[in-house]
Structure 1
Amino acid sequence: MLSEPLLTDMRTLFSLYDNSHHRLQLSEVHGKRIWGSQHGWVVTLGPRYVTQLVHRIKGKRINLPPLCTIRRQAPREEWFCLVHKFILLKDPSYESTFLVIAIFGPMDSLAFTRVALNRRRRGKWVVVPNPENLKFKDVAHINGQIYALCDNGKLVRFEPVAPSANMVQVQVIADHPQDVGAHLKIYLVESLGNLYGVFRNGFLIPSERRFETTSFFVYKFNFNASAWEEVTHLEGHTFFVGDSNSFSRRFPTSIIPSISDCIYFTDDHWVWRKFFRKAYGGHDVGLFNMEIRKILPLTFGKDKPRFYSRPIFVTCNDRL
């Protein structure tokens, strides 16, 4: 989904299957920052700090709890930068329920809430205790467990066993990969029952007010050895990272022979804000081919990111 245009609630969707463009009226997300997921839903955050789940096709909206608790911990953040990332996971403990994760504030803190799709009652945001001052970067779900990637690649297990902060458990599983250096962004991706740490490199171009990604390094977590192991291919899968859920997909090679073993990425660098309410960044979009280790462009044409709106990945999935 490309950035929001001016003076209209029509959004352009660029298909990775056939490089086609589709126009869709999405008044439910107009004027808001949005995060995509692989479940057919997006999370929205508006100027008045109202958050919702919105189904991209059906237009159904579900209000999330007020962000009062989160706002108290980050009172100086602009509304569209209050939450760095919303992550939408199927709750392993409850059927027809989402676990909505928020990474927010200057310390990359973590909070969560549960949303039952067949109920109107809203819960509350629970801020996860963080005595070790971990900086949370991404969250993924595998084998009934919730894992988070912190700091420069430290892996922790996150157990939201009850809707109360004093019942939440965070357990450190492993340190960062031994040979990993400083990276712009890191992501946690579940694929084929495995966990992958995706490390994104690049640099800032101040004169153009944008970032540019140059490469990715990928590590697979070995649960038996409790250690990260670098990999050079993705076992035929494709990874998607950026301002959305981090996820993987396998595409039939008869349909898209060149899409496997690639990392598709969108611009999620929101930390550099020199000009208030001005467009900055948003153009760092493309794919990284793991075999030839090169960044390639996506041919979606012109896109004009706004100060709160950038391209995101969305999928169609009506099963939940």
Structure 2
Amino acid sequence: MLSNKLDSDLQRFFNLCNNRYLWLELPTSDQKRCWGSPHGLVVTLGPDYQAYLVHVRKEDQIALPPLNPIRALAQLEEWFCLVHKFIILKDPSHELLFLVFAIFGPVNRLAFARVTFNRGGDGAALNRRGQGQWAIVPNPDNLKFNDVVCFNDKIYALCDNGKLVCLELDALPEAKVQVIAPQPSEEEIGTPQKLYLMKSQQNLIAVFRYRVHNPKKMRQETKKFLVYNFNFSASNWEVTDLKDCTAFVGDGNSWCIPTSTIPSRNNCIYFTDDNWELQRYPGVAYGGRDVGVFNIARKDIQQLPFRKDNPLYYSRPNWVTPSYYAFR
């Protein structure tokens, strides 16, 4: 999904399968920041601090709970920098529920809300923590959250420079954060600028992204990635690659798909620009053009073949798949 064009709910998409463009009407997307997902859904957020869950094919939307608890903890962040990442996951505890996570504020805290597409009822099953409001995840150890994923019906988060934790959202008296494994050694990973967590068909994978600053262009430029697989038996991270899979990272969800039938896309990472550290004030866009494909085997980066995109101070390209989940 490419950058927003002003005064229009029509959103331009670039199809990686055939290198073609299409326009879709996306309600409430005009002058909003968007976060993509592999569920056919995006989260939009505007200057009024109202967030929506929007279906890109159904042209339907659901208002997310008011962001008041997040705003109260975020220390007066500008609206487009209030939430670093919205992540949309299927709730493993209920087939009609989605979990929407928000990583927010200057120290990357974590909150979640539960959203149902069932308009008809089953309210008793949905009377859960995070239903109708944002639940702040306790963080007594001041962990910096980077990404969240559901793997084998459990919710995991990647914190700091690679620390893995498991989230128990329904624990009493409040949600719990259990550390599963420490981060890899500093000698091994150096200083990654961004970290992502995703699942492949059988593995839990962490991706570390490394950039350099280009002051003339007022942006960061990605130079490489490292990929790690989590070994549950040994409780540690092991260097690996993506083999017959391809990963997508940037704003919103991080995910991995098998590409064994498309050898040219095996072992690649498609990335968009999710560095917002320089974008502190409205009006002038900083960055947004750090977009491309990293081939892990060759260790090189290629540009994507879409024409010129014009990032705005609140809008940049991000990934979304045209899934056909419906609001029921």
TM-score range, shorter chain: over 0.9
The answer on whether the counterparts of 2:100 and 2:112 sit within 8 Å (CA) in structure 1 is yes
What does the per-residue CA deviation read over 1:188-245, in whole Å, with 9 as the maximum and x for residues that have no partner?
Answer: 01111311110000111122111100000001000000000001x3130100000120
> Equivalent residue for 1:148?
157
> Equivalent residue for 2:39?
39
Structure 2, unpaired ranges of 5+: 124-130
The answer on whether the counterparts of 2:245 and 2:257 sit within 8 Å (CA) in structure 1 is yes
The answer on whether the counterparts of 1:40 and 1:57 sit within 8 Å (CA) in structure 2 is yes
Q: Give the fraction of aligned pairs with identical amino acids, expressed as a percent.
A: 52
Deviation at 1:8, TM superposition (A): 2.9
Cα separation, partners in 2 of 1:274 and 1:49, compared to 1, 3 Å: closer
> Equivalent residue for 1:221?
230
> Equivalent residue for 2:127?
none
Higher mean alpha-carbon deviation, 10-19 vs 284-293, is at 10-19
> Equivalent residue for 1:304?
310
> Equivalent residue for 1:241?
249
Deviation at 1:12, TM superposition (A): 1.5
Among candidates 271, 282, 289, match of residue 283 of structure 1: 289
* Amino acid corresponding to residue 26 of structure 2 in structure 1: L
> Equivalent residue for 2:259?
251
TM-score (norm 2): 0.92
Q: Distance in 2 between matches of 1:124 and 1:8?
A: 30
Q: Distance in 2 between matches of 1:105 and 1:147?
A: 20
Among candidates 177, 190, 196, match of residue 181 of structure 1: 190
> Equivalent residue for 1:73?
73
Aligned partner of residue 149 in structure 2, secondary structure:
strand
Deviation at 1:252, TM superposition (A): 5.3
* Amino acid corresponding to residue 305 of structure 1 in structure 2: P
Aligned partner of residue 263 in structure 2, secondary structure:
coil
> Equivalent residue for 1:194?
203
Structure 1, unpaired ranges of 5+: none
> Equivalent residue for 1:270?
276
Q: Distance in 2 between matches of 1:278 and 1:152?
A: 30
Q: Distance in 2 between matches of 1:26 and 1:150?
A: 32
The answer on whether the counterparts of 2:146 and 2:195 sit within 8 Å (CA) in structure 1 is yes
Deviation at 1:24, TM superposition (A): 2.1
> Equivalent residue for 1:260?
266
* Amino acid corresponding to residue 76 of structure 1 in structure 2: L
Q: Distance in 2 between matches of 1:187 and 1:146?
A: 14
Q: Distance in 2 between matches of 1:310 and 1:319?
A: 24
Higher mean alpha-carbon deviation, 17-26 vs 307-316, is at 17-26
Deviation at 1:22, TM superposition (A): 1.3
Aligned partner of residue 114 in structure 1, secondary structure:
strand
Cα separation, partners in 2 of 1:275 and 1:65, compared to 1, 3 Å: closer
2:40 equivalent to 1:56: no
Deviation at 1:27, TM superposition (A): 3.8
What does the per-residue CA deviation read over 1:30-54, in whole Å, with 9 as the maximum and x for residues that have no partner?
Answer: 1111100101111111110001100
Q: Distance in 1 between matches of 2:98 and 2:248?
A: 20
Displacement over 6 Å in runs of 4+: none
Q: Distance in 2 between matches of 1:240 and 1:273?
A: 23
Q: Distance in 1 between matches of 2:222 and 2:67?
A: 32
Deviation at 1:82, TM superposition (A): 0.3
The answer on whether the counterparts of 1:142 and 1:193 sit within 8 Å (CA) in structure 2 is no
Q: Distance in 2 between matches of 1:264 and 1:284?
A: 11
* Amino acid corresponding to residue 266 of structure 2 in structure 1: S
The answer on whether the counterparts of 1:143 and 1:193 sit within 8 Å (CA) in structure 2 is no
What does the per-residue CA deviation read over 1:271-317, in whole Å, with 9 as the maximum and x for residues that have no partner?
Answer: 11365421111000001001101111101110000010000101011
* Amino acid corresponding to residue 175 of structure 2 in structure 1: V
* Amino acid corresponding to residue 250 of structure 1 in structure 2: P
Deviation at 1:6, TM superposition (A): 2.9
The answer on whether the counterparts of 1:287 and 1:296 sit within 8 Å (CA) in structure 2 is yes
Higher mean alpha-carbon deviation, 309-318 vs 6-15, is at 6-15
Q: Distance in 1 between matches of 2:181 and 2:294?
A: 27
User: Aligned-residue CA RMSD in angstroms?
Assistant: 1.5
Q: Distance in 1 between matches of 2:201 and 2:58?
A: 29
Q: How does 1:114-153 map to 2 (within 5 A)?
A: 114-119=114-119, 123-153=132-162
The answer on whether the counterparts of 1:261 and 1:291 sit within 8 Å (CA) in structure 2 is yes
Cα separation, partners in 2 of 1:29 and 1:6, compared to 1, 3 Å: closer
Higher mean alpha-carbon deviation, 177-186 vs 83-92, is at 177-186
Number of residues paired by the alignment? 315
TM-score (norm 1): 0.95
* Amino acid corresponding to residue 205 of structure 1 in structure 2: N
